[in-house]
Chains A and B, each alone.
Chain A
Amino acid sequence: MNKPAGETPAPPAPPAKEGPAKAAKESNGTQLVREIMSGNAMISVLAVVVALVIGGILIAVTDPRVTTAFGYFFGDPSATFKAIWASVSDAYGALLRGATYDPNARTWQGRLGIFETLTFATPLILSGLAVTLAFRVGLFNIGAKGQIILGATFAGVVGFLIELPPGIHLIAVILAGALGGALWGGIAGFLKARTGAHEVIVTIMLNYIAVSLVLYLLKNQLRDPNSSNPISPRMHESAMFPLLLGPNFRVHAGLILAVLAVIGVSWLLNRSTMGFEFRAIGANPRAARTAGMNVSRGYITVMLISGALAGLAGVTQLAGTEKILDADIAGSIGFDAITVALLGRSKPWGTFFAAILFGAFKAGGTSMAVNADVSIDIVAVVQSLIVLFIAAPPLIRSIFRIKAVSREGVAA
């Protein structure tokens, strides 16, 4: 690695001032991508561990049992440690049980949280892949949110306004969702390729436009005629993903679609000519152009595919779990996708496992909030810390004294 450390690798990073041979206009992303790819999986794991430790500290210091015990720390130090232990193990125990298996839950759905984990992971896998793929071409697709919304909207139009025979209906819904996402992603790709407009700005702006657009449609053309609220009618049953494990669990066939997408993207990147071009452009757009590759076409193509993947995430939300379209259909998935892609080191299977982990945080977070009375915001803090540590690999390296690729220490 020839990258001087210490430069902030935040997404909207200003063009690198130093750095060897840079076409600043085209390679804003390449530096971070290279940085992320160069790190090993160990850094991802350690980032999660450190984030959990800090989360644990926060849980302990905000727990009244701990603060009470700390009041007589010097009288009975062991009480404090016992309280810390109880507090943190209660919280993370509830998190783990909620995300996997809880023998004490009253309902089957609560008992086997692992399936909730997979349900939450499904849209994260697809939208994480969307971000991952764009990353590999050196583009930051911050617009997964907008693409999810458009995907869900297109899927909804087919799913609740049109009647089709079972089987064909679901396929039509899936294709419509992919089309909607591809359209929204494609706009950013086209503008990047033709005008050089930065994809970060364009995709963020398109997120706002998507939210307003769907709200407008929900108040007018797409509104449930029986409701005065801005929500759509229910999806037809034939347009829904079949449930994989019966009505007790929410896990649906969208998960299979997501796994197929992982395999597909993995093949695309590692085995296909197009994927080779993508990676070449991501590594160095100038060199790729010199080598005769069409960089502009690469940008447009990757954003179309990336948008389609995010659109599919919207389909799994609408046709998998939510059934009704509202303006909040994307929730935080669009932004969690970025974290998932970072944690997954921008590799398709890495993204898959990162999405499962985040699904577990989601499923377990509810259980932690309800059963251990710990604010679900702790989960958000842990997730944010993961991003922080991954975006600042030198920090993690120094904490764990991993042999750094860079020369500089971590006085920062």
Chain B
Amino acid sequence: MKNLLLKTAKRGAIVGTVAVSAVALMLTGCGEAPPAPGGSGSANPAAADFLGCIVSDSGGFDDQSFNQSSYEGMKKAQADLGIQMKEAQSASTADFAPNLSTMASAGCNLTVTVGFLLAEATKTAAADNPDLHYAIIDDSSIKAPNVKPVVYDTAQAAFMAGYASAAVSKTGKVGTFGGINIPTVTIFMDGFADGVKYFNEKQGKNVQLLGWNKDTQQGSFANTFEIIQEGTKITNNLLSEGADVIMPVAGPLGKGAGDAVLAANKTGKDAKLVWVDSDGFLTAPTYKSVLLTSVIKTMGEAVETIVKEDLDGKFDPAPYIGTLDNGGVSLAPFHDLDSAVSADTKTQLDEIKKGIIDGSIKVESKASPK
């Protein structure tokens, strides 16, 4: 007992000493720092003076979705072009305005804001700082000389995914669900629905789509982009209704969907997953054994291009619209599941791509950027 007490006291003393000396160190640190010049922590004066900044929505830069792709684009611009970079993640809506004003006060030449949720804050910041440039991903509501909207006609690539899914489905049922019923989500589902419909027309089949009705614009939604388990729940429902290809359009909830598909396949099903936004084979390798393909929005490249243009003094507020034609949207390779897709289907997909580009195949979504 006595021994224990002694030990405790000793340990207390050591911890105390360490803490006190650390406090002393810190107090001096705090006391000295403020008057020192140089607000930026970067010690790289040689790099270009161009400051590229990026602000996430509440998904964060590790959402394996559009925040992450845009962030990687900015990172790549930093590496390739030698610009300086600053980043800020938003935990909630209340963080948008302060994050943007911090970026403005740091003197960001170009600030990329990720997601329509930031539209209001971006609009205000752009009006307050007419000398700075902004680019907003997935929103085209802002018309200002210093804001470049970046939007994607995702329905075009989702159409191809719908066709491919319908072609590989063994149960004759494919499924999709969204995070929240908003245009940037439903545009995937509209394209997917059209792709399935086109397959039925061309092949004389009757593959059903679960989870989305293009005519009523209603379907399965998790009503969250954060609670991953909701993705598992909805996917399990779709699987039990007989769907064997699932396209989750819900950011991080795709992981939940992937878990559900992996679990179902352990019990003897043969279900597959269609990833969205980035090539899931690369960004979510856990699910590569069940990953049929991905509907890619190449946000990284778009961000890098916009940075480059701005750096060259060629900033242009005209909206960038990503299409199959300019490579802004695309269908990912089938990777490990290549053998699941017949050669005929692959040829047809190539024809569809050509058809969409030359306009002979119409892909229409209420949510398509105009």
| A residues adjacent to B (C-beta < 8 A) | 49-50, 52-53, 56-57, 85, 88-94, 96-98, 100-107, 109-111, 116, 120, 215, 219, 228-230, 250, 317, 321-324, 326, 328-329, 331-333, 362-363, 366-367, 369-373, 375-376, 398-401, 409-411
Contact = CB atoms under 8 A, between A and B. Distances in A.
Interface of B: 4-5, 8-9, 12-13, 15-16, 19, 22-23, 25-26, 29-30, 32-34, 36-42, 53, 58, 86-89, 91-95, 97-99, 101-107, 116-117, 120, 128-129, 180-183, 223
B8 A328 contact: no
A369 B124 CA distance: 22
A328 B105 contact: no
Query: Secondary structure at chain B's binding surface: helix, strand, loop or mixed?
Result: helix
Contacts of A215: 223
A333 B93 CA distance: 12
Contact of B92 (A56, A85, A331): A331
Contact of A94 (B26, B41, B116): B41
Report, nearest first, the 9 A-B pairs whose CB atoms are least far apart: A110-B105, A93-B33, A104-B39, A331-B92, A105-B105, A372-B41, A89-B29, A107-B105, A90-B41
Contacts of A399: 12, 15-16, 19
A116 B34 CA distance: 17
Given A331-B94, A366-B102, A371 B39 contact: yes
Contacts of B34: 93, 96-97, 100-101
B19 A93 contact: no
B24 to A, nearest CB: 10
Contact of A98 (B29, B102, B117): B102
B5 A363 contact: no
Contacts of A101: 34
A85 B128 CA distance: 37
A93 B30 contact: yes
Given A323-B120, A369-B89, A376-B91, 8 more contacts: A53-B26, A57-B22, A89-B32, A90-B41, A116-B98, A328-B93, A366-B98, A399-B15
Contacts of B41: 90-91, 94, 371-373
A56 to B, nearest CB: 6
A334 to B, nearest CB: 11
B105 A250 contact: no
Contacts of A366: 88, 95, 98-99, 102
A323 B96 CA distance: 13
Contacts of B19: 50, 53, 399-400
B306 to A, nearest CB: 20
21 contacts: A53-B23, A56-B26, A89-B30, A89-B32, A90-B33, A91-B41, A97-B39, A116-B101, A228-B183, A250-B97, A321-B97, A328-B93, A328-B94, A329-B93, A331-B95, A333-B94, A372-B41, A373-B41, A401-B13, A409-B5, A411-B4
B8 A409 contact: yes
Contacts of A321: 94, 97
Contacts of B181: 219, 228
B106 A229 contact: no
A85 B24 CA distance: 12
Q: Secondary structure of the A side of the interface?
A: helix
B105 A106 contact: yes
Given A107-B101, A370-B102, A399-B15, A328 B22 contact: no
A228 B116 CA distance: 11
A326 B93 contact: yes
Given A89-B32, A317-B94, A399-B16, A371 B26 contact: no
Nearest to A330: B92
Given A228-B183, A409-B8, A110 B101 contact: yes
A109 B117 CA distance: 22
Given A88-B29, A317-B94, A411-B4, A110 B102 contact: yes
A35 to B, nearest CB: 20
Given A102-B39, A106-B107, A93 B29 contact: yes
Given A102-B39, A229-B116, A401-B12, A371 B86 contact: yes
A172 B105 CA distance: 36
Contacts of B116: 229
Contact of B36 (A93, A228, A331): A93
A105 B95 contact: no
A229 to B, nearest CB: 5
Given A53-B19, A106-B106, A328-B92, A398 B12 contact: yes
Contacts of B128: 107
A93 B38 CA distance: 11
A382 to B, nearest CB: 12
A247 to B, nearest CB: 8
Contacts of B12: 398-399, 401, 409-410
Contacts of B107: 106
A375 B25 CA distance: 22
A402 B92 CA distance: 39
B201 to A, nearest CB: 29
A403 to B, nearest CB: 13
B105 A369 contact: no
Contact of B8 (A219, A375, A400, A410): A410
Contacts of A50: 19
B256 to A, nearest CB: 19
Given A93-B33, A228-B182, A105 B88 contact: no
B26 A92 contact: yes
Contact of A332 (B22, B86, B91, B183): B91
B329 to A, nearest CB: 21
B66 to A, nearest CB: 15
Most buried by B among A103, A105, A326, A333: A105
Nearest to A89: B29
A89 B36 CA distance: 11
A399 B16 CA distance: 5
A401 B12 CA distance: 8
B113 to A, nearest CB: 14
Contact of B94 (A49, A103, A322): A322
Residue of A109, A111, A324, A326 contacting most chain B CB atoms (<10 Å):
A109
Nearest to A63: B41
Question: Most B CB atoms within 10 A — which of A89, A116, A230, A373?
Answer: A89
